């Protein structure tokens, strides 16, 4: 899966789930998959097809490539804890996703671009790597020159989340990572079967 630059709603239609929390993804005008052969959706998927679909849904929602997701899965598998939980923690604590969860960006694609353009600092150090892993105790701040822009993005975001593992100060344009997110903290707008994803990578 390369870096997709086409229409994002097309991805939601192809997977049958909203991969972004915006009205045009949550309320699709056409729920059929894109393309000419739309009648094929009714065919029953094989076990491999189901596993592949779950993997694609997760990768598209967090905007990560196949290679990245495979590395994350390898790390989660080696950990001496619950594999789905570790994978969830890795994806949720990526800096671009944290920016999305804080409501400073409307979508994961916008959050990725904002991080790449170095609008944020982590513990006082400029970070422009979307995959940067945030840890409990870290402080994320908006650069002074970027505060007006981030405020505009925050005010136009359709969905604002109040998450226990994140602490946001809107007046200071800063946020703290309170703790690692649990599976119960997940705010994905569709169901994910992590077991099928584990089976896909272990087949």
Coil vs helix vs strand at 167:
strand
Please check the confidence at residue 36 and state whether its pLDDT lies above 70.
no
Domain 94-179 has CATH 3.10.290.10: yes
pLDDT tens per residue, range 93-127: 999 999 999 989 988 999 999 999 999 999 999 99
Domain locations in the chain? 8-90+189-202, 94-179
Coil vs helix vs strand at 144:
helix
Enter the DSSP assignment of 133: B
pTM over 0.85: yes
pLDDT tens per residue, range 43-66: 677 999 999 999 999 999 999 999
Query: Containing H/E element for 142?
Result: strand 139-142
Query: Band of the pLDDT at 1, cuts 50, 70, 90?
Result: very low
Q: For residue 73, how many C-alpha atoms fall within 13 Å in the half-sphere facing its CB?
A: 20
Q: Which CATH class is domain 8-90+189-202?
A: mainly alpha
Question: What's the CA angle centered on 50, arms 46 and 56, to 5 degrees?
Answer: 140
To 10 degrees, what angle do helices 47-62 and 66-78 make? Answer: 100
Please check the confidence at residue 160 and state whether its pLDDT lies above 90.
no
Least Cα distance to 118 among 133, 108, 128 occurs for 128
How far is it, in rounded angstroms, from Cα 31 to Cα 12? 9
* Same fold flag, 8-90+189-202 and 94-179: no
Please check the confidence at residue 143 and state whether its pLDDT lies above 70.
yes
């Amino acid at each position: 899966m390369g870096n997709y630059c086409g229409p994002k709603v097309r991805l939601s239609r192809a997977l049958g789930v909203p991969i972004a929390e915006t009205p045009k993804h949550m309320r699709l005008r056409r729920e059929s998959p894109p393309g000419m052969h739309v009648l094929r959706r009714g065919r029953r998927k094989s076990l491999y097809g189901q596993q592949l679909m779950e993997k694609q849904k997760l990768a598209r929602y967090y905007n990560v490539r196949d290679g990245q997701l495979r590395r994350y899965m390898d790390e989660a598998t080696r950990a001496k804890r619950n594999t789905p939980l570790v994978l969830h923690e890795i994806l949720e604590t990526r800096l671009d996703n944290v920016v999305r969860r804080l409501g400073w960006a409307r979508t994961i694609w916008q959050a990725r671009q904002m991080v790449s353009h170095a609008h944020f600092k982590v513990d006082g150090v400029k970070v422009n790597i979307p995959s940067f892993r945030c840890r409990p105790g870290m402080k994320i701040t908006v650069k002074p020159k970027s505060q007006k822009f981030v405020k505009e993005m925050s005010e136009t975001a359709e969905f604002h989340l109040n998450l226990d593992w994140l602490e946001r100060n809107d007046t200071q344009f800063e946020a703290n990572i309170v703790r690692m997110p649990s599976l119960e903290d997940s705010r994905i707008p569709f169901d994910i079967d992590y077991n099928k994803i584990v089976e896909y990578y272990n087949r």
